[in-house]
A and B are shown apart, each in its own frame.
Chain A
Amino acid sequence: MKTRTLAQADASFAIRIILAVILFNAIIIALPLFYAAWISVHDRDVILRTEEFIGAEHYRRLLTNPEAINAMIASLKFTLVAVVGSLIVGLGMALVLNEDFPGRSFLRAAILIPWAVSEVVTATAWIFMLNPTFGALTGVLHPLGLASENQVWINETTALYWVAAAYVWHVAPLGAFFFLAALQTIPDGLYQAARLDQANVFKRFLHVTLPQIRSTVMVVLVVVTVEAFRSFDLLFAMTRGGPGTASQIFPMLIFRYTFEFSRYGLAAAASFILVGVGVIVTTLYFVILMRRRRTVRIDAPAAAKLADGGAAA
């Protein structure tokens, strides 16, 4: 033992605990996934209890199936609306909460409530807002003449967007917290300088705030993309994919393949297609983050004094 240096011993210790961690994750995650991959290339007959190797047949069928293609389009639409909405609402909240007003710390804590409650509770709250017969939106807007007596808010064309709105309500506070942290690192001097240059509030936002929080915008963008793309609970609790198949996002389709039709092979194949699209997003995430780190590193030795401020931005 004594002949080895501390660093070498540390490395072998690290490798041992890493191996233990990997083993645990491999057993509970990787093995089931390999099994799912095996299921996805076999045709399973539940009655005859036979399993026949069919290769990529399930994948081929899915990629040419209009129902699956529509579900993927719905998923991408839902994700896009959720991401754009979360960025706007989250940033808006952060900008307001970054100002000075009485009750600010209360409101800062309170905006976290929608994020902390489950997606089922989020769905409940929005069902009571939107229901055509007893919902609050109809109740307020009908007497004002802005809605019919039993206005059906969630219909074929709007269902996906209402679920996305509820999702934004649920997830935007998290974005707001990231933005708030970023806003607080912007030096006050920048705003004072901008004021001296007669920049109005919009110009200050565009030329001072936005460039300073660009990397946070990126982070929130990617996090919400990943979360929205894989989300299932809220949509299921709100619309079950309906009316009809109007809000049938891809995970909803997989759910139906699995538990309505017991088509495990097809469902497993579909879930790998979903994973594939998700991994593309993750790769982008890594590329973006790594590129940012590299820039910081290259700059760091040259401008050591600036590194403290520069690395944070």
Chain B
Amino acid sequence: MKKSSVERATLWICVALVAAWTFIPLLVMFWASMMPIGDLVNGIVQWPKSFGFANYLAILGIANIDEIFGGRAESIGRGFINSAIVAIPVAAIGTAMAVVGGYAFGRYRFPFKGTLLFVLLSIRVLPPIAILIPYFVILSSLRLVGTHFSLIITYLTAVVPLLTWVLMGYFASLPIETERAARIDGCSRLKALWHIMIPMAAPGIAAAFIIAFLTAWNELLFGLILTGGTSNQTLSPALLALSPTMPSTGTANLGLTMFAAASVMSAIPPLFFAILAQRYITRLNVADPVTTQGD
């Protein structure tokens, strides 16, 4: 359909607004991360004297800017490793549990299904701190606070119900005929699940894995309470340790440009996965699986 020039101009203004809203905070953060430590005090809106990747190199351990910040850069590097150590098992175990649960919920009718679905959704409403309090007391008495295990188990409490919900919708949306045909051909139910359903649901399962990984990778509260300040500290609390104590009102401190660089770096895996998962996210129907149930 042909558009008038007024319509076209309005459209471009709107496009510019969307782009500005999305990119400006990101660009500002990126700009700060390229500044040398100490230049930031004069404000972000300036052309810095030297401009480069020094902060990034320091975090990667390639270059050392300053002895004082060496330790901070190191804690970020460790944060990356710890987050990976925690996020990968969470994603693997969480997805495996959710595949089984999602398949059963998405494919079968059984007594109390409605009630169980309601419970599943209610768990999603649970504020993270509600689950953290008992875990903190239990893990403290078992002397497990500060371990990777403490985070893996607590992240699973958030990830398993969510992914079960997501995959339930996905399994329900797959055509039932293929599975039925396999069953009639003598495939056992478990074989049908393993050889027919899981390959068919592969895109959904991949997306579920990514969601679980990112949940664990991005999370702050559990990481802060259970590993904050220890050598097993994950990325988010490690980042927070670089930020000023009153982040939004405090004055500039010398670690801030490093903080910006570390934040940008921590966002790289999420960006990579978001691009990878983009195609599947709309198909997943995260919000509304109730309406896609097969029954």
Contacts and interface: CB of A to CB of B under 8 A. Distances in A.
A115 B29 CA distance: 16
A201 B3 CA distance: 12
A222 B252 CA distance: 39
Contacts of A14: 104, 107-110
B214 interface: yes
B117 to A, nearest CB: 9
Nearest to B274: A116
Size class of the B contact interface (CB-based, 8 Å): 35 or more
A36 interface: yes
Contacts of A236: 220-221
Given A128-B32, A134-B41, A117 B271 contact: yes
A223 interface: yes
Nearest to B189: A13
A146 interface: no
B287 A178 contact: yes
Contact of A39 (B21, B116, B133, B275): B133
Among B25, B121, B239: residue with most chain A CB under 10 A = B25
Interface stretch (B50-58, B60-68, B135-143, B201-209): B135-143
Interface string A258-295: 11000010011001101100110110011001101100
Interface in B1-60: 7, 11-12, 14-15, 17-19, 21-26, 28-29, 32, 40-46
Interface of A is mostly: helix
Contacts of B17: 96
Given A118-B217, A139-B44, A219 B288 contact: yes
B26 A32 contact: no
B77 interface: no
Contacts of A78: none
Interface in B203-256: 214, 217-221, 225, 236, 239-240, 243, 245-252, 256
Contacts of A275: 125-127, 130
Interface in B176-208: 183, 189
Contacts of B131: 29, 32-33, 36
Contacts of B109: 11, 14
A220 B288 CA distance: 10
B247 to A, nearest CB: 5
A111 B14 CA distance: 14
A92 B10 CA distance: 13
Contact of A101 (B12, B183, B221, B273): B12
A267 B129 CA distance: 9
Given A18-B116, A97-B18, A120 B44 contact: no
Interface in A91-127: 92-93, 95-97, 99, 101, 103, 107, 109-127
A32 B157 CA distance: 10
B18 A120 contact: no
B215 to A, nearest CB: 10
Interface residues of A, number: 114
A10 B104 CA distance: 10
A35 B133 CA distance: 10
Interface in A194-222: 201, 219-220, 222
Contacts, number: 309
Interface of B is mostly: helix
Given A127-B247, A131-B248, A242-B246, A120 B133 contact: no
A28 B158 CA distance: 10
A154 B248 contact: yes
A171 interface: no
A167 B73 CA distance: 28
A113 B264 CA distance: 12
A230 B21 CA distance: 25
B281 interface: yes
Given A24-B97, A118-B220, A162-B248, A35 B44 contact: no
B217 to A, nearest CB: 7
Contact of B101 (A21, A173, A264): A21
A128 B252 CA distance: 10
A113 B274 contact: yes
B93 to A, nearest CB: 10
Given A178-B287, A285-B121, A32 B134 contact: yes
A39 B287 contact: no
5 contacts: A21-B100, A125-B25, A267-B133, A268-B134, A296-B291
Interface of B: 7, 11-12, 14-15, 17-19, 21-26, 28-29, 32, 40-46, 97, 100-101, 103-105, 107-110, 116, 118, 121-138, 153, 156-157, 160-161, 164, 183, 189, 214, 217-221, 225, 236, 239-240, 243, 245-252, 256, 259-260, 263-264, 266-267, 270-271, 273-275, 278, 281-282, 286-288, 290-291
The 5 closest A-B pairs by CB, nearest first: A139-B45, A118-B218, A14-B108, A116-B274, A271-B130
Given A126-B248, A237-B220, 10 more contacts: A18-B108, A24-B97, A115-B274, A118-B266, A123-B247, A124-B263, A233-B220, A254-B130, A271-B127, A285-B121
